Structure 1
Amino acid sequence: MPLTLYGHPFSSYTQKALIALYENGTPFEFRCISPEHPQHAAEWLQHWLLRKFPLLVDDGRDVAETSLIIEYLQLAHPGPVRLLPADAMAALGVRFMDRFFDLHVMLPVQDAVAAAITGNAAWRDDALAATVEKLDRAYDWLETRLAGKTWATGDDFTLADCAAAPALFYADWVQRIGERYPVLRAYRARLLARPSFARAVEEARPYRHLFPLGAPDRD
């Protein structure tokens, strides 16, 4: 049976998993979780009652949580692009950066989006202000951390970059990565030019109207 990935093209964490699959040309079937495909949602919930996506199904094995999905793919379906180094200490550095992008960039963005979806203007404004403050701190740290590096941890594209691509993509929509961050802006541009992420961005383009804070007319 082919690999099956349940998710939505506009979901940052679905994109993170898609990048890993596209990087290695791994064959899989994508099943979109949306009102247009109720059968996919029914199948998905049979596998994962916690209602989180993406979810990877591989011949009866259910793999949840995006970072673990990517590590699982490397173990069970390896390809030419190794997304986690063989060296344990180097792998620890990649995992740290993966966690940084998920917890300190993407999570604040999701907080702002979740508040905006409620329709409560006060909640939206408070959450957005908190998110902007957190993102500015993250941008300050990344501007120094990424100096002299092509990718998140050095010369090789890794799990950390799979996390960084959608995180920085959407973060820039919420709090623009300004001119004071030339290193971070250049890194985000390299991510957007990477064929695996460029493909994910194009596949999600029809859904931009769903972004509750207003998708900017760029990227």
Structure 2
Amino acid sequence: MNPGPSLELFGHPFSSYTWKTLIPLYAYEVPFSFRILDQEHPEHAEVVQMAGPLGKFPVLRDGENLLFEATTIIEYLDRHHVSPGMLIPEDPDAATAIRMLDRVFDNYVMNVMQIVVNEYIRDAANPDPARCRQAREQLDRVYAWLEGWLRFYPQMDQISLVECAAAPSLFYADWVHPIPEDRPRLRAWRAHLLALPPVARCVEDARPFRSYFPLGAPDRD
């Protein structure tokens, strides 16, 4: 296992997808340098802009390797910087199941929540009510599915690709559209995830930036 002292992660502490890549780095104590994206560090933005077609972060630099997309970064960490089987199971079928759940949290929780956020970024006083209602209805449907899925998925302290994807997506989705009381397993799992030390560290590091949240950050978490 290569300790990877040359690793650099480019992102922002309030970014959900940056969290997704920070969580495994913290969980498995992988040495890295964090390169924040802000006005004081334009050179960091230059790296991000050249890494991928749309210049999105997070971006991981490992020597000459430059990787974008959070899931890809975690796959890379699993192969090169974390003990095999910790983030993604070595069994092919189990790995397929883990990757499927990763897509659920990115595509059906995080990206659906982002529809509402984008509406408030576009016009905080006049977000499109139809788009916001549709996104919240979709989140309700996903919450219901996750409530059932959690009957079979144990609460674990170990961090896998699932926890990396679930923690930031559920953290912010609950701000946009609170998980209802009739989803007790999902509410309890979100609380469990936020209490895990690598996730709690992300929550605290992001706290100074809560004023950035377009809908107004709730006074909790």
TM-score range, shorter chain: over 0.9
TM-score normalised by the chain length of structure 1: 0.93
* 1:41 aligned partner: 45
The answer to whether the Cα contact below 8 Å between 1:3 and 1:29 also exists between their aligned partners in 2 is yes
The answer to whether the Cα contact below 8 Å between 2:51 and 2:67 also exists between their aligned partners in 1 is no
The answer to whether the Cα contact below 8 Å between 2:51 and 2:68 also exists between their aligned partners in 1 is no
* 2:110 aligned partner: 106
Alpha-carbon distance change, 156 to 29 in structure 1, aligned in 2, over 3 angstroms: closer
Matched position secondary structure for 1:85: coil
**Aligned-pair CA distance for 1:49:** 4.6
Letter in 2 for 1:64: F
Letter in 1 for 2:39: P
Letter in 2 for 1:203: D
**Aligned-pair CA distance for 1:64:** 1.1
**Aligned-pair CA distance for 1:81:** 7.3
Runs of 4+ in 1 over 6 A off after TM superposition: none
Q: Unpaired runs of 5+ in structure 2? A: none
Question: How far, CA to CA, are the matches of 1:218 and 1:106 in structure 2?
Answer: 19
Q: Unpaired runs of 5+ in structure 1? A: none
Q: 2:185 aligns with which of 180, 183, 186?
A: 183
Question: How far, CA to CA, are the matches of 1:157 and 1:40 in structure 2?
Answer: 28
* 2:9 aligned partner: 5
- Provide the identity percentage: 49
Alpha-carbon distance change, 33 to 120 in structure 1, aligned in 2, over 3 angstroms: same
Letter in 2 for 1:196: P
Letter in 2 for 1:211: F
Letter in 1 for 2:180: G
The answer to whether the Cα contact below 8 Å between 2:117 and 2:215 also exists between their aligned partners in 1 is yes
Q: Deviations over 1:107-160 (max 9, x none)?
A: 011111111101164444333212210100000000000115324xx7853101
Question: How far, CA to CA, are the matches of 1:81 and 1:194 in structure 2?
Answer: 19
The answer to whether the Cα contact below 8 Å between 1:5 and 1:55 also exists between their aligned partners in 2 is yes
Letter in 2 for 1:66: A
Matched position secondary structure for 2:10: strand
The answer to whether the Cα contact below 8 Å between 1:108 and 1:131 also exists between their aligned partners in 2 is yes
Question: How far, CA to CA, are the matches of 1:155 and 1:2 in structure 2?
Answer: 28
Matched position secondary structure for 1:75: helix
The answer to whether the Cα contact below 8 Å between 1:23 and 1:81 also exists between their aligned partners in 2 is no
Question: How far, CA to CA, are the matches of 1:160 and 1:206 in structure 2?
Answer: 27
* 1:218 aligned partner: 220
Instruction: Describe how 1:1-219 pairs up with structure 2 within 5 A.
Output: 2-79=6-83, 82-119=86-123, 121-151=125-155, 156-219=158-221
Question: How far, CA to CA, are the matches of 1:190 and 1:47 in structure 2?
Answer: 34
